[in-house]
Amino acid sequence: MEGYLGSYAVLGLVLAAGVLLFVAAFGANRLLSPARPAEPSGKRISYESGIDPVGGDWAQAQIRYYVYAYLYVLFAVEAVFLFPWALIFDRPGFGGLAIAEMGIFVAVLALGILYAWRKKILNWT
């Protein structure tokens, strides 16, 4: 297909083929699937490693697990910023200013850890 609209015609054909494939797949699923499938007994019971379930299906998780995970992700991601700084630290023009900026950055991290420690967030019990 040549000309100005030739590439658009190819795009239109590809999109039409994609829509046709989508409609054919869902149509085949509609035609071939059973209308009312049989449901064996116990199908909707939760599975616990082949053992019959014990207790209810509601289990509450302690919030401290999420706090530890959040703090880990927060400080791990912020620690990633130290690596590019370490790579450009010795280049000309980055000496004193780079140290001051990283000092402020590490001070903010230290304040965050100090705040969490003072609020007893980091106590496990």
Decide: pTM greater than 0.85: no
How much is the average pLDDT of 86-99? 77
Q: Is the pLDDT of residue 57 over 70?
A: no
Per-residue pLDDT, averaged over 47-56, amounts to: 67
- Are 119 and 67 spatial neighbours (Cβ–Cβ below 8 Å)? no
Backbone CA torsion sign across 77, 78, 79, 80: positive
pLDDT higher than 90, residue 98:
no
23-42 pLDDT, tens digit per residue, is: 999 999 999 988 877 777 76
SS3 51: strand
| Phi, psi dihedral angles at 48 (to 5 degrees) | -125, 75
More confident residue, 65 or 2: 65
